[in-house]
Amino acid sequence: MELYGAGLSRVLELAGDAVVARLADDELVRGLLILHDLHPLSTMERVTAALERVRPYLGTHAGDVELLGIGEDGVARLRLKGTCDGCPSSAVTVQQAIEREILTAAPEIAAIDVQGMVPDAGPGGRPLLPLEAVECPVPGGGR
C-alpha cells in the first residue's frame, strides 16, 4: 500500500497544479487521494466547500449552517441557523442534504453532529422515530 501511495504521489508531482486540481475534482480519483493523504485540500477546506454548495438549498428553508469544527474523533460539528433551526417539517431532508455533501467531499468524516436539528413531527406533533430504532434485526443480516 505504501508503494502504491508513493507512486501516486510521484504522479501528482509530475502532473502539475492544474492536473492535480482536476484529479481532486474527479469522484473516483478524489477517494484515492484522500486514502493516501494526498488531496490538495484539507478536510476542513473540503467540508467548508461542501457547506457552501448546500447553502442555496438551506436558503430555500430560510436557514443556514455554521461549521463549529472537526474534532480529533473525526466528527464534524455543525449548527443550524435561521428558521431552519428547529423546523421539524424539513429536519430529515436538511440533514440528508448536509450529510450527502459533506461525505461526498470528505468521506473520512466519522460522523456529523448537527445542533438545532429537531426530529420530524408525526401525528399530534410527536417526533417520529427512525425505523432502525424500532426494527428487530433478523439473523443473517436480512430484514
Instruction: Dump pLDDT digits (tens) for 84-143.
Output: 555 555 667 788 899 999 999 999 999 999 887 665 555 555 444 454 444 455 555 554
Distances (CA, A) of 27 to 22, 77, 98, 106, 134: 10, 24, 18, 11, 35
66 and 14: one domain? no
60 and 119: one domain? yes
Which domain, by its residues, includes 65?
A: 43-128
Q: How many angstroms separate the CA atoms of 44 and 26, rounded? A: 19
60 and 25: one domain? no
pTM over 0.95: no
Instruction: Dump pLDDT digits (tens) for 41-71.
Output: 999 999 999 999 999 988 887 788 999 999 9
47 and 31: one domain? no
Rg value, the chain, Cα? 19
139 in any annotated domain: no
